[in-house]
Amino acid sequence: MPSDHSTWFLLDSGPGNPAFNMALDEALLESMSRLGKPVLRFYGWTEPAATFGYFQKYADVERATPLRPLIRRPTGGGIVPHDADWTYSLAFPPGHEWHSLKAEESYRRVHAWIQAAFAELKIKTDLAPCCNPSILDTRHSTLPAACFVGHVKFDLLWKGGKIAGAAQRRSKLGLLIQGSVQPSSFQKSEVRSQQSERAAWQNAMRDVGRAILGADCQEFGPDATLQERAEELAGQKYSQGTYNHKR
């Protein structure tokens, strides 16, 4: 990983409603050329929800999970449950090194970052060396893929089970990575307080980002342009059935 220091923006947006959470991530991607710097965002959820991949069929997702609302992500991937998970996103401007990476390498890199952050918390995790053969194969099933059923190469594992996954979208606007850490597996035995350990993990992500990636994160709040665009996308797209049921 690179170690030359550069300025990144850090956005801790706290709990948000499901439609707005997806909208702000897309607004960040759209703003990359204007902002000119990568953004690391941490966020939570004001209510339980599930997001699903851009290319998944809504009817299949609806049958596969009882969680509501169901919100289509701007990225790919499978169904992700959101309630007590630790959610983050990364946005990179066009021309940035991460934007030019192959998808597998950026996937490996982000999970190696999370792995190192967990090591700071004395929690040992592993990068999956390959796919779990028991993972649901949607080519021979009417059920959609669930992100945390089985694992694929470079997913993050704890004691053999997947605890972190991510989805990506590359375009001329930049690169957006949306990721989720599901801490429930190890919380009972290794984490004393979800709230305090989530904050500790976010601090570790920041520290490791600086040490390994050379990312000097500066606190960042959405300006009026970004906020207004996110609210527009939330109201006109992510909260609308015409988008979420589009296929």
CATH number, domain of 22, equals 3.30.930.10
- What is the distance between the alpha carbons of residues 26 and 39, in angstroms, rounded to a whole number? 12
Q: Is residue 15, in this structure, part of any structural domain at all?
A: yes
Residue 244: Cβ within 10 Å count: 21
Calculate ∠ Cα 239-241-244, nearest 5°: 80
Q: What is the pTM of this model?
A: 0.91
Q: Is residue 13, in this structure, part of any structural domain at all?
A: yes
Residue 154: what pLDDT? 96
Residue 184: what pLDDT? 77
pLDDT surpassing 60 at residue 10: yes
Q: Of 107-111, 180-184, 226-230, 234-238, where does mean pLDDT reach its minimum?
A: 180-184
Mean pLDDT over 59-88 rounds to 96
pLDDT band at 149 (very low <50, low <70, confident <90, very high): low
Percent of the chain topping pLDDT 90: 82
Domain count for the chain = 1
For residue 95 the two structure tokens come to 């021309």
Q: Is residue 1, in this structure, part of any structural domain at all?
A: no
Residue 58: Cβ within 10 Å count: 17
Residue 130: what pLDDT? 76
Q: Of 155-169, 189-203, 208-222, where does mean pLDDT reach its minimum?
A: 189-203
Q: Is residue 237, in this structure, part of any structural domain at all?
A: yes
Q: Containing domain of residue 68, as a range?
A: 6-244
Q: Is residue 48, in this structure, part of any structural domain at all?
A: yes
How far are the Cα atoms of 24, 85, 134, 163, 192 from residue 144, in angstroms, in the given order?
A: 26, 21, 15, 19, 34
Residue 17: what pLDDT? 97
pLDDT band at 196 (very low <50, low <70, confident <90, very high): confident
Residue 83: what pLDDT? 87
CA count, 13 A, side-chain hemisphere, 208:
21
pLDDT surpassing 90 at residue 27: yes
Residue 185: what pLDDT? 65
pLDDT surpassing 70 at residue 189: no
- What is the distance between the alpha carbons of residues 179 and 111, in angstroms, rounded to a whole number? 9
Residue 243: what pLDDT? 97
Q: Of 88-97, 194-203, 215-224, 229-238, where does mean pLDDT reach its minimum?
A: 194-203
Note the Cα 3 to chain centre separation in Å.
Answer: 23
Could you read off the pLDDT of 84-140 as tens digits, one per residue? 899 999 999 999 999 999 999 999 999 999 999 999 999 999 999 976 655 444 333
Task: Name the active-site residue from 130, 131, 147, 217.
Answer: 147
For residue 167 the two structure tokens come to 């989805």
- What is the distance between the alpha carbons of residues 35 and 22, in angstroms, rounded to a whole number? 19
Q: Is residue 187, in this structure, part of any structural domain at all?
A: yes
Mean pLDDT over 18-29 rounds to 98
Mean pLDDT over 78-86 rounds to 94
pLDDT surpassing 60 at residue 4: no
Annotated active-site residue 147? The verdict is yes
H-state helical runs in the chain: 18-30, 32-35, 58-64, 97-100, 103-120, 184-190, 194-208, 224-233, 241-244
Name the residue with higher pLDDT: 195 or 48: 48
